[in-house]
Amino acid sequence: MSDSRCHYIPPKWLDAVAGKTLFYPCAGGDIAEPLQVFAPVISDFWFSDIGYPAGLKMAPALRSFGGFTYTLTGKLINGDPLATIERRDGYRFLPPSRRIETYSRPDGSSFRVIRRRGFGEIALGTEFPDMSVGVFFHRGDSPGEGGSNVRFFENKWRRHEPLRNLFSTLIRKLTEPALIVSDGSLTPPLHPIGQFHRSRMSSAEAFESCRDREWLADGLRWTCVGFVGRRNGPTLVWAVQRA
Ligand SMILES: C[S@@+](CC[C@H](N)C(=O)[O-])C[C@H]1O[C@@H](n2cnc3c(N)ncnc32)[C@H](O)[C@@H]1O
């Protein structure tokens, strides 16, 4: 496979998450590629960031990449998009608000793009029914320098219960199978999905070195099935199934 390909996911794995939700916490402005790759199949895209502008005054999400064939058919904002971050009993809280855009595909089917202004770890626990998130997308994040330092792939104890054991919450929210897209940001030491973090390899090269290989970790089978564009290292797509 040539390195010039910027993303690759076999149709079998896109079909496996068709009609499901994609959740990308701490997404910032990184929405174009997730939309480009998954818009043909995903029903609800959730991008979450505490830095989305007050008022949620933003350009339509699908303007973020060229050559698209989707039509914006509706837009609404709910929650208080002017809310500010509050300090509560030892944790920070931002009352959530959501900018919800609806798009139609050429075949008449539709999907939604939700940009949620609020904490991603709270969104994970509150916005999704169990077994509904088909794609968990997370890259470009870090412990400092504007990164969230939120450990979605670990079970850390936190005094505020919704912030505790995020990995168990994530697993509960995932469909079976699900895809996890990660560049290894904020993953635990020695975890298979962190093995290329900060490496200079292209995503395609990293994928070739572990294509279709399986790892057992956390009671799950992790199979490397594809790749998307680099962030803090190559970004791989992992199929996750209960072992
Ligand atoms: C380093 S940037 C990375 C953005 C994006 N993932 C990328 O690769 O371009 C981290 C983002 O996380 C947001 N952020 C920090 N803590 C957060 C949290 N707990 N929940 C949601 N967003 C958060 C910041 O506002 C910032 O936009």
Residue nearest to atom 5 of ligand 1 (CA): 27
- The amino acid at residue 63 is R
Specify if 1 maps to a domain: no
Kindly give the distance from the C-alpha atom of residue 138 to the centroid of ligand 1, in angstroms, as a whole number: 10
If you search the block for the tokens 């509050």, which residue do you land on?
86
Specify if 174 maps to a domain: yes
The percentage of residues in the chain with a pLDDT greater than 90, rounded to a whole number, is 92
Residue nearest to atom 12 of ligand 1 (CA): 26
Mutation to probe ligand 1, out of 22, 31, 49 (largest number of atoms < 8 A from CB): 49
Specify if 50 maps to a domain: yes
Q: In angstroms, rounded to a whole number, what is the distance separating the alpha carbons of residues 190 and 51?
A: 31
Kindly give the distance from the C-alpha atom of residue 218 to the centroid of ligand 1, in angstroms, as a whole number: 25
Q: Answer whether 183 contacts ligand 1 (Cβ < 6 A).
A: no
Q: In angstroms, rounded to a whole number, what is the distance separating the alpha carbons of residues 213 and 195?
A: 13
Residue nearest to atom 2 of ligand 1 (CA): 147
Q: What's the mean pLDDT when you consider all of the chain?
A: 95
Q: Answer whether 25 contacts ligand 1 (Cβ < 6 A).
A: yes
Cα 135 to chain center, whole Å?
A: 7
Specify if 201 maps to a domain: yes
Specify if 6 maps to a domain: no
* 97-104 and 110-117 strand pairing: antiparallel
For residue 212, is pLDDT > 60? yes
Q: In angstroms, rounded to a whole number, what is the distance separating the alpha carbons of residues 102 and 3?
A: 34
- Tens of pLDDT along 144-171? 989 999 999 999 999 998 999 999 999 9
Q: Answer whether 119 contacts ligand 1 (Cβ < 6 A).
A: yes
Kindly give the distance from the C-alpha atom of residue 95 to the centroid of ligand 1, in angstroms, as a whole number: 17
| Mean pLDDT to the nearest integer, 71-88 | 96
| Residues in the chain, overall count | 243
Structural domain including 124 reads 11-242
Confidence (pLDDT) at 5: 72
Atom of ligand 1 nearest to the CA of 122: 20
- Stretch (H or E) spanning 13: helix 11-16
CB atoms within 10 A of CB 5: 12
Question: Residue 194: which residues within 8 A CB-CB, separation 6 or more?
Answer: 182, 184, 187, 188
Q: In angstroms, rounded to a whole number, what is the distance separating the alpha carbons of residues 143 and 46?
A: 22
C-alpha distances (whole Å) from 208 to each of 147, 227, 236 are 29, 10, 10
Q: In angstroms, rounded to a whole number, what is the distance separating the alpha carbons of residues 96 and 25?
A: 13
Specify if 2 maps to a domain: no
Q: How many domains does the chain have?
A: 1
The reported pTM is 0.97
- Tens of pLDDT along 7-25? 999 999 999 999 999 999 9
Q: In angstroms, rounded to a whole number, what is the distance separating the alpha carbons of residues 149 and 111?
A: 30
Confidence (pLDDT) at 224: 98
For residue 176, is pLDDT > 70? yes
CATH number for the domain that contains residue 143 = 3.40.50
